[in-house]
């Protein structure tokens, strides 16, 4: 499948409370104004089976999981999303905007859970050797700022959010290292700014990278 024929694959990444929900809408609006048909998805999730896997992964009642089991479940959900949503949509020439993808596994399981990059690299090689996002917006926010935002939620922390602050610092560090290693794919957005500034930065990044 050539990159010219298929739709564009855009992913949103970031730590807790980075503001991916707002960013998703900005990206979708921008693409639609550009005349594109856009399908949104999220990971873990995106299909009925993958959403069931998400429940297992995020429900605190699941209890502790071995980091490798956690990683394999993320990739099981990813296969479902790729097979049933991402690949067919791109093949039709439509765009996909996905809230998290394999970079999240590298940041959370590779960095946060300290599995390192190798298992993620191997699984990505097995599951999507031919496909990488065309653009990844990394919404970067200091851990304490992100945590303060999500503390205002009415729902309690999910299973992964229950991890301690050191975990989230490792996640952020892993994301920033990936962005530095692949500047042509990543665009880092300072998500600690007020929302209107974040929105404007995302729009500017899309103008620069996708037009
Ligand atoms: N995970 C993983 O470990 N491995 C993997 O491979 C994958 C995922 C794919 C589910 O992800 C979890 O799965 C996640 C990573 C892990 N870890 N956890 N937990 P998720 O994306 O569904 O869940 P999340 O990261 O917990 O989402 P979130 O905390 O809701 O983050 P967000 O979507 O970026 O935040 P938001 O809802 O847009 O904003 C949070 C609040 O902040 C909200 O009240 C906003 O109004 C406010 N906000 C946002 N931006 C601003 C600014 N700029 N100023 C002020 N206030 C703001």
Q: What is the pLDDT of residues 48-96, one digit of tens each?
A: 999 999 999 999 999 999 999 999 999 999 999 999 999 999 999 999 9
Instruction: Output the CA 161–ligand 1 centroid distance in Å.
Output: 10
Q: Nearest CA to 18 among 168, 160, 159?
A: 168
Find out if CATH 3.40.50.300 is the number for domain 9-210. yes
Instruction: Output the CA 15–ligand 1 centroid distance in Å.
Output: 6
Describe the strand order of the beta sheet including 9-14 as a list of residue ranges. Answer: 38-42, 95-99, 9-14, 135-140, 186-190
Which atom of ligand 1 lies closest to the CA of 159?
Answer: 19
| Residue closest by Cα to atom 31 of ligand 1 | 17
| Residue closest by Cα to atom 19 of ligand 1 | 161
Q: Is 60 exceeded by the pLDDT of residue 45?
A: yes
Regarding predicted confidence, which is higher, 163 or 178? 178
pLDDT score recorded for residue 27: 98
């Amino acid at each position: 499948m050539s990159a010219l024929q298929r739709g564009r694959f855009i992913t949103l990444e970031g730590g807790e409370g980075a503001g991916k929900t707002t960013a998703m809408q900005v990206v979708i609006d921008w693409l639609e104004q550009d005349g594109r048909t856009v399908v949104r998805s999220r990971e873990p999730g995106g299909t009925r089976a993958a959403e069931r896997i998400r429940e297992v992964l995020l429900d605190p009642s699941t209890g502790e999981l071995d980091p490798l089991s956690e990683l394999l479940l993320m990739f099981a959900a990813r296969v479902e999303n790729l097979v049933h949503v991402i690949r067919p949509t791109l093949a039709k020439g439509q765009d996909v905007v996905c809230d998290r993808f394999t970079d999240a596994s590298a940041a959370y399981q590779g960095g946060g859970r300290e599995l390192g990059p190798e298992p993620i690299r191997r699984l990505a090689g097995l599951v999507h050797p031919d496909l990488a996002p065309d653009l990844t917006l990394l919404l970067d926010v200091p851990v304490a700022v992100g945590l303060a935002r999500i503390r205002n939620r009415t729902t309690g922390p999910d299973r992964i959010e229950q991890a301690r602050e050191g975990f989230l610092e490792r996640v952020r560090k892993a994301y920033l290292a990936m962005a530095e290693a692949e500047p042509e794919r990543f665009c880092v957005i300072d998500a600690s700014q007020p929302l209107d500034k974040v929105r404007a930065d995302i729009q500017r990044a899309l103008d620069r990278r996708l037009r």
